[in-house]
Structure 1
């Protein structure tokens, strides 16, 4: 998964925060869905240069306007013009501004004749149109009434994002006196935002649209954990220990006192208000059932979210059956591994042995860190054979901080800055080490690090020829689909010749297949949390801690888990199609460049691009 900051809605939905490469494995296809292109009816005649200039002028204005409304996006890019602000999230004014911008920009786009544009500019046109249309749908009153009134859960919300953001170890800089002053201003805005979240929860209580008791209890536990930390040991106090030499002794003393005051008397009380509200008022009326279909309006919301996440008009039933098919296929591959290593017993017994066998247990956080760096060096040596495009941004490896590790996934990626001055970060989870196993480490690195999220996100950000919304935007199906596709490059790179490493990657692929079954089971078929956990344990070598965290993640952020397999299977199918149609003209490095060099694309638009490339190669 990724830890990128795109817009307020994406932030709250994604923060804690996104295989033809396996030649021995046949996968179930995801059918091609043609992209509809809306040509403007009465667009003025323009030359290609005029159309390009009009298009990119629109993109530039849109981006500038968006950064003012979403200052965190600017900060994550290293743009400090609005660094004293968080943004007016969870207000009617913010919603109205986002909706009005999308509507006006879509109208301006359609005044540009698409037919006059170059092939690359047409891709940009199509992506901008798609994104604008999706934004407009997301701000429809019927959708906001189901989403905005549930502003926080244990997997998405400012209460988990903001402490790390403000800690001195994230995108917020602490290099100047102004940086420290800006952080104090943001702290006060964060407290106000927390109060607005409480107000939104109250709106949901009045309308009957409420979160689950499970997610609310988890949020209460998260807040309790943070509130137990003494002020001087909290992430918010971190910048005090990293004053640059340019800040005077007098300013250091003043800032230290002000930080203690704001953390202790503004931020912590806001957390306490949210914690007490959730425990005393909201939890009693939260719903017992974990699935969206059991929430008022939830069935409608789930179908909308499927299309938003996968970028395809798929149904829950189709995805559930696709998942069942993939689970059955992968189980057969696992049986082959079990036989190869000479394990006597059932597949479940094989899973259990991997879960408890001491030889598959990580020794420590530091050991995990060093092992991931070793894996990274081995991957780096193979990259030139498969990629002509590589990012300049460096990759750093870290465990999650203890205050948030319990509720995080096994790993995630946080993007660096476009100029490479701040590295991308691959986070791995070291919580409850005895429950974790080592066979999947290579696969996790390929997904979260290189050539997965780190390549895809960094290459997009570094490509200054792209408009900003393509450099910094994205959709889950492409982003996570690319990362899952990247995992299976390990077959060709030779990393899975060892049967236990192959079992590790099959286990991770199984996770993505089970997600199709479990997410749709939970949110459209009435599955309970316990049924979902047991299904995952029965079909993989996951430990109970990981399986529980995964299921509770799907409960908190429905449909996000569907995107992995849908995106990967689409890229696999496109690679196979290109290879079959081009024969000796097929170049894998070139195919990867085609997929990566225009940023994250909705899957129908990606398919159009690959088809055009195939046609150009065939002459």
Structure 2
């Protein structure tokens, strides 16, 4: 539950003000956080825009120093965590800017090319005013992409360009968005949601016109981006996928909020993968009989009609039922779930990328937390054994409980800690921790569901080896070709350890090659979460108390998303 109301401090004032600055500089963040007033805007992605962002970061670090000096001995524990978390996060933003990381920000999943389009999925569309915002954002999109191109050109001048493989892939995505008939923007402005709101009045006709013009401008802008990437940037892009140790170390800190020994983490990744594989193989034999392989178990589970869902309506209903059941079973026993968080909406996403993701509630809780399933074209059947653990990962006790708890806890946490601080290792590590926790608590006693959880854990374990191995160009085990890791060896390795169709595997392969440090943050984050839990329970025992798992969860989630080094220090103080 939320902490008792505390009087906001001078440190909170600095943090709250910085959220307003971030919303102004990055309207995509404002929409994601549910902060009103910016849904018609897009960020300045030019070099000047990045400089303004870095200047704001430097200023808030100075303001934190001043607030701490003024507060003196009046700083409470909440303020101390805020200071540590903001200095770590904002300081790393400045470090990344100074290193020029933004100059080569091109990858297949999480660069501006995707962010400018994906934010539209989060925009409200229930009123005429909502659609006016959509039209304004579409109209602003060409300027935003022009700024992005300007920044990438500066990267060329400074010799900082993404790998050619990523440039080519993003150009392909941009061409899809530019296509007049098949573009997302075309279907957006001509879809049933538009018709349901814009009912034919003269004012609505003007909005429809603006939407059509905006969609046309957006398609043309993505066409120009595709041409730039293909005809200009690709010529300067290196063939080498590896980013090297210096860049990788910075990315690892960005995604974990912790400084780790990268070589030790790679060795742990190999050992952890072996442990997960052994457990999965043992479970496979229980499913398909003595001597059965993992592939035999997959075939047996896929052939079981009781584990198959037909159509997206059945999928959505199953997601909702599974999520609702988890909330009911966990609340009051292993977690204390506030009333507003007992609602989690499960939806089929309007996109078709194949991903499953969570979006948090708005600041005022009027927009609930939502779990989205982006179903690829042509996919009509779904296996529950594969996905039950995913519902726990994205929902409760995973992202929904974690993110929603922070948003709900406005009595204790300032806006920056509730809305703006997201650390992948904390968030994705918690969600992976939640998957294993549900198995430990008895919610995956069915061998098929447990096998699915292990399948998920195997993917995340393999990511650690893949990502560190390729980007640091570490030695590959003999069974994966020996020598030094590269993209081809990593593809064979991924194929052997990821039980998904080839299209998904290709997407993930490209993702890891282009987004260094992010994929390992799941398993490495889980490792750090489990270490924090074990330390807390051991401290309970050493003090003569009954180990209190529910209490650990409450204390940890009450902190919000912070770097994992900050989390460890806060829980041990």
TM category (shorter chain) comes to: 0.7 to 0.9
Q: For residues 443 and 372 of structure 2, what CA distance do their matches in structure 1 show? A: 21
Q: How many residues of Structure 1 are paired with residues of Structure 2 in the alignment? A: 544
Alignment of 1:123-272 (within 5 A): 123-140=81-98, 143-144=99-100, 147-166=101-120, 169-172=121-124, 175-177=127-129, 179-230=130-181, 233-238=186-191, 240-243=194-197, 249-264=201-216, 266-272=217-223
Q: For residues 81 and 72 of structure 2, what CA distance do their matches in structure 1 show? A: 10
Classify 1:347/1:537 alpha carbon distance in 2 versus 1 (closer, same or farther; 3 Å).
farther
Q: For residues 277 and 162 of structure 1, what CA distance do their matches in structure 2 show? A: 17
Alignment of 1:596-615 (within 5 A): 596-612=557-573
1:310 matches 2:259: no
The superposition leaves residues 552-604 of structure 1 with CA deviations (integer Å, 9 ceiling, x where unpaired) of 11122110112112221122122222223323433222211101012112212
1:521 matches 2:469: yes
Task: Find the residue that maps to 1:85 and give its secondary structure.
Answer: coil
The superposition leaves residues 166-217 of structure 1 with CA deviations (integer Å, 9 ceiling, x where unpaired) of 3xx523455343x444433322322111112222222333333222232223
1:53 matches 2:6: no
**Where does residue 617 of structure 1 map in the other structure?**
none
Unaligned runs of 5+ residues in structure 1 are 1-48, 294-298, 613-619
Classify 1:170/1:414 alpha carbon distance in 2 versus 1 (closer, same or farther; 3 Å).
same
CA drift at 1:93? 4.6
Alignment of 1:346-365 (within 5 A): 347=293, 349-350=295-296, 353=299, 357=303, 359=305, 362-365=309-312
The superposition leaves residues 320-352 of structure 1 with CA deviations (integer Å, 9 ceiling, x where unpaired) of 111101011112212221232243546454366
Over aligned residue pairs, what C-alpha RMSD do you find?
2.8
Q: For residues 311 and 164 of structure 1, what CA distance do their matches in structure 2 show? A: 25
**Where does residue 348 of structure 2 map in the other structure?**
399
Classify 1:185/1:227 alpha carbon distance in 2 versus 1 (closer, same or farther; 3 Å).
same
Q: For residues 511 and 560 of structure 2, what CA distance do their matches in structure 1 show? A: 27
Q: Kindly indicate whether the alpha-carbon contact (under 8 Å) linking 1:391 and 1:458 is maintained by their aligned counterparts in 2.
A: no
CA drift at 1:397? 1.8
Q: Which has the higher contact order (CA 8 A, sep 6+)?
A: 1
Q: For residues 102 and 94 of structure 1, what CA distance do their matches in structure 2 show? A: 16
**Greater Cα shift, 596-605 or 353-362:** 353-362
**Where does residue 279 of structure 1 map in the other structure?**
230
**Greater Cα shift, 208-217 or 475-484:** 208-217
**Where does residue 477 of structure 1 map in the other structure?**
425
Q: For residues 415 and 253 of structure 1, what CA distance do their matches in structure 2 show? A: 33
CA drift at 1:414? 1.5
Task: Find the residue that maps to 2:36 and give its secondary structure.
Answer: coil
Classify 1:377/1:58 alpha carbon distance in 2 versus 1 (closer, same or farther; 3 Å).
closer
Q: Kindly indicate whether the alpha-carbon contact (under 8 Å) linking 2:27 and 2:41 is maintained by their aligned counterparts in 1.
A: yes
**Greater Cα shift, 91-100 or 468-477:** 91-100
Classify 1:346/1:291 alpha carbon distance in 2 versus 1 (closer, same or farther; 3 Å).
farther
Q: For residues 560 and 569 of structure 1, what CA distance do their matches in structure 2 show? A: 15
**Where does residue 68 of structure 1 map in the other structure?**
24
Task: Find the residue that maps to 2:258 and give its secondary structure.
Answer: coil
Alignment of 1:376-395 (within 5 A): 376-384=323-331, 385-390=333-338, 392-393=340-341, 394-395=343-344
Classify 1:72/1:509 alpha carbon distance in 2 versus 1 (closer, same or farther; 3 Å).
same
Q: For residues 601 and 414 of structure 1, what CA distance do their matches in structure 2 show? A: 18
**Normalising to structure 2: TM-score of the pair?**
0.87
Q: Kindly indicate whether the alpha-carbon contact (under 8 Å) linking 1:309 and 1:476 is maintained by their aligned counterparts in 2.
A: yes
The superposition leaves residues 521-551 of structure 1 with CA deviations (integer Å, 9 ceiling, x where unpaired) of 1211153333223213323534333322222
Classify 1:362/1:523 alpha carbon distance in 2 versus 1 (closer, same or farther; 3 Å).
farther
Classify 1:487/1:596 alpha carbon distance in 2 versus 1 (closer, same or farther; 3 Å).
same
Q: For residues 208 and 255 of structure 2, what CA distance do their matches in structure 1 show? A: 44
1:591 matches 2:552: yes
**Where does residue 368 of structure 2 map in the other structure?**
423
CA drift at 1:479? 0.9
Q: For residues 462 and 551 of structure 2, what CA distance do their matches in structure 1 show? A: 32
Classify 1:301/1:365 alpha carbon distance in 2 versus 1 (closer, same or farther; 3 Å).
same
Q: For residues 286 and 22 of structure 2, what CA distance do their matches in structure 1 show? A: 55
Q: Kindly indicate whether the alpha-carbon contact (under 8 Å) linking 1:388 and 1:593 is maintained by their aligned counterparts in 2.
A: yes
The superposition leaves residues 248-298 of structure 1 with CA deviations (integer Å, 9 ceiling, x where unpaired) of 81101112122212322x2111111111222223334433332223xxxxx
Classify 1:291/1:352 alpha carbon distance in 2 versus 1 (closer, same or farther; 3 Å).
farther
**Where does residue 320 of structure 2 map in the other structure?**
373
The superposition leaves residues 284-321 of structure 1 with CA deviations (integer Å, 9 ceiling, x where unpaired) of 4433332223xxxxx32111111222222223322211
**Where does residue 447 of structure 1 map in the other structure?**
393
CA drift at 1:229? 4.6
Q: For residues 491 and 292 of structure 2, what CA distance do their matches in structure 1 show? A: 20
Q: For residues 508 and 593 of structure 1, what CA distance do their matches in structure 2 show? A: 26
Task: Find the residue that maps to 1:95 and give its secondary structure.
Answer: helix
Alignment of 1:4-43 (within 5 A): none
Task: Find the residue that maps to 2:122 and give its secondary structure.
Answer: coil
The superposition leaves residues 441-485 of structure 1 with CA deviations (integer Å, 9 ceiling, x where unpaired) of 111011111111111111111211211110011211111111111
**Normalising to structure 1: TM-score of the pair?**
0.81
Unaligned runs of 5+ residues in structure 2 are 1-5, 474-483
